[in-house]
Structure 1
Amino acid sequence: MAGAGAVSLPTSTSTFSSLCSLKFSSKPLLLPMRFSPKPLSPPRFPRIYALSSNDIKVGTSLEVDGAPWRILEFLHVKPGKGAAFVRTKMRNYITGNTVEKTFRAGSTIEEANVFKETKQFTYKDGSQFVFMDLNTFEETRLDEADVGDKTKWLKEGMDCILLFWNGKVIDFEVPITVQLTVVDVDPGLKGDTASGGATKPATLDTGAIVYVPLFVNTGDQILVDTRTGQYMSRA
């Protein structure tokens, strides 16, 4: 056909022989692998959301005047005259102060980004208490002032709950019930029982002093309620 280009194929015997003489490696061909980018991890600290005063309930965390507060009590009030409001009693997470505050019904309030993480108390380093995340092995350190009198319930290996706000620890909680060892107590008398309510002071392995029944002796394992500091039973 006119205008069509002709394509010539090599017919030379030497060319064909050259192609046949090529040697191919028996090793597998390795191609560079492409990895998809690692998905972004979710933010460590949750966002702050706006709440309506109508959403307030016991345990709600609010951010008021730049500080985190926890609602202890609340009451929705709808007077015969005037606007409805919510009367609350709330506690400052950081200072522990308790105040009463009123919010206008339907008003917008910021929810404080207070959340909890379980950490294990691993050891004490000087004046610092070291808590470890058993999943990431990340350490969080608290000073003696941050731990306060809760130190008397702390034992190595104990799981505690740390409260975070804006990336900082503002409080921590020890278990409600702890098992501790009596290291010093006056010996009990034969026949002593829990009847009659008689008690004696006992020093525990954490340094705490708890009043125990007369039959409890040195070396006994006992259960203590950390909220009240009271003896519960022998373990």
Structure 2
Amino acid sequence: MVSLRLASNVHLFSSSSISPRNPSQLLLRPRSLPLTPLRSRFSRIYAFSSNDIKVGSNIEVDGAPWRVLEFLHVKPGKGAAFVRTKMRNYVTGNTVEKTFRAGSTIQEANILKETKQFTYKDGNQFVFMDLASYEEIRLNEADVGDKMKWLKEGMDCSLLFWNGRIIDFELPITVKLTVVDVDPGLRGDTAQGGSKPATLDTGAVVNVPLFVNTGEDILVDTRTGQYMSRA
């Protein structure tokens, strides 16, 4: 379950500007935390044709948001053409295969992506902050999942909202992490290649070349968990 909390140093209301001559001012307005109008915060929903499906499309099927992972347009010798897809449910994480008739109307999922900074971990919760409004958003360990091994304080991530609800978040594709524990490479081994496991400052373990030593910064691909290069 995702919970929201406002930073404690935000002062929402001010009574100094209320004039007894103007009763309408009794409807207090936020002073330090401008609220984004809903029509600009959440994108409009559009319908498009199944022929427009591509990898990465966000669609709504049976009242749930899905991301298209694979697709194939099929035109058989007999019968109507169709689009075969492989989709992942944003909410449950389940992956299914589904077929759509060619040219059929599909609803776009109302998904908005916002950049938030991971600031710190509070118990079993990961705290992200909007650097413009100082609004805090907390994700539980179950919401973060395996992505926690790449999270580092100060890292900008993309949180995905569906109808005002957080359904997922995306890490940067490339992250810079520090090697905190690794066996030293043997003399002569580096010329012949090879790899060894290294523990990073986030607790993740990746295979690195034999020439990488403790204390060095490296770049890791968060999609594959593979070493890319020295930073």
**TM-score band, normalised by the shorter chain?**
0.7 to 0.9
1:168-225 CA-to-partner distances (Å, cap 9, x unmatched) read 11111111111111111122345552x3232222111101111222222211111111
Q: Give the letter for the 1:224 counterpart.
A: V
Farther off after superposition, 131-140 or 117-126: 131-140
Q: Secondary structure at the match of 1:117?
A: strand
1:111–1:189: structure 2 CA closer, same or farther, 3 Å change rule? same
* Distance in 2 between residues matched to 1:187 and 1:80, nearest whole Å: 61
Q: Give the letter for the 1:82 counterpart.
A: G
Cross-structure match for 1:65: 62
Q: Is residue 2:102 matched to residue 1:105?
A: yes
Q: TM-score, normalised to structure 2's length?
A: 0.77
Q: Is residue 2:115 matched to residue 1:118?
A: yes
Cross-structure match for 1:83: 80
Q: Which runs of 5+ in 2 are unaligned?
A: 1-20, 22-28, 30-35
Q: Secondary structure at the match of 1:121?
A: strand
- 1:49 Cα offset (Å): 2.0
Which fold has the larger relative contact order, with Cα–Cα distance below 8 Å and residues 6 or more apart in sequence? 2
Cross-structure match for 1:198: 194
Q: Give the letter for the 2:162 counterpart.
A: W
Q: Secondary structure at the match of 2:192?
A: coil
Map 1:110-149 onto structure 2 (within 5 A).
Answer: 110-149=107-146
Give the aligned length.
200
Q: Which has the larger radius of gyration?
A: 1
Q: Is residue 2:218 matched to residue 1:222?
A: yes
1:81–1:230: structure 2 CA closer, same or farther, 3 Å change rule? closer
- 1:155 Cα offset (Å): 0.6
* Distance in 2 between residues matched to 1:58 and 1:200, nearest whole Å: 35
Q: Secondary structure at the match of 1:218?
A: coil
- 1:80 Cα offset (Å): 4.1
Q: Secondary structure at the match of 2:214?
A: coil
* Distance in 1 between residues matched to 2:134 and 2:149, nearest whole Å: 25
* Distance in 1 between residues matched to 2:197 and 2:168, nearest whole Å: 29
Cross-structure match for 2:53: 56
Identity of aligned residues (%): 81
1:64-115 CA-to-partner distances (Å, cap 9, x unmatched) read 1111111222233344443332222222122232222122233222111112
Q: Which runs of 5+ in 1 are unaligned?
A: 1-31, 33-37
1:188–1:78: structure 2 CA closer, same or farther, 3 Å change rule? closer
